[in-house]
Structure 1
Amino acid sequence: MAKSWYVFLGSGDPLLSSNYLKVTVQHTCLCGNQICAIYSEGDEEHPESPLSPQLQEYIRKALATGQIQPDYPVNAKKYVYLRYR
């Protein structure tokens, strides 16, 4: 299955795929206190539902720490980026 970048719409539950839209431009966010973008399974307007348990865990950890995820190992592919409100 293909993966795509999806931007968080800024309100609602960040664990629900319906709160994300596919983007084809590169995001410029990094760290913050709100989800900015996720890299998720799917190639449609919204990511596959439900979001994978691993991606949900990355989202929770990102919100708790304010850091992109996964944070370890340092050079690992990142799946969750944040921004400041």
Structure 2
Amino acid sequence: MARRWYAYNGVGDPLIPPSYYIASLPPSCKNGVRVCAIYAAGTGPVPIILSSNLRNYIANLYITLVAQPDSNPGIKKYVYGKS
């Protein structure tokens, strides 16, 4: 399934797809106190689904303030934050 960057709208629940809209460019944010963007399954205006892994990454961002997953610097990040 195709993945795209989706920007968080800043007001909705960050754990549900309608709180995001498709981004035409990759995010310039990376780390921070709230969700900036997610790399999620979908090609339409909102993500198809937020997997349990993606929801865990969102929760971990709020705890660590670092792009997720944070286990290895070389792996793809799926959740970015901003201040």
Q: Per the shorter chain, which TM-score range?
A: over 0.9
Question: What is the match of residue 17 of structure 1?
Answer: 17
Structure 2: 5+ residue runs without aligned partners? none
1:5 corresponds to which letter in structure 2? W
TM-score, structure 2 as length reference:
0.96
Inter-partner Cα distance in structure 1 for 2:51 and 2:27 = 22
Aligned partner of 1:40 in structure 2 is 40
Give the CA deviation at 1:26. Answer: 2.3
Question: Counterpart of 2:78?
Answer: 79
* Partner AA of 2:58 in structure 1: I
What is the TM-score of this pair, normalised by structure 1?
A: 0.94
2:47 partner amino acid: P
2: CA distance, partners of 1:73 / 1:26: 21
How many aligned residue pairs are there? 83
Q: CA–CA distance in 2 between the matches of 1:30 and 1:82?
A: 5
One-letter code of the match for 2:23? Answer: V
Question: What are structure 1's unaligned runs of at least 5 residues?
Answer: none
Q: Tell me whether 1:61 sits opposite 2:54 in the alignment.
A: no
Equivalent-residue separation in structure 2 for 1:60 and 1:47 (angstroms)? 18
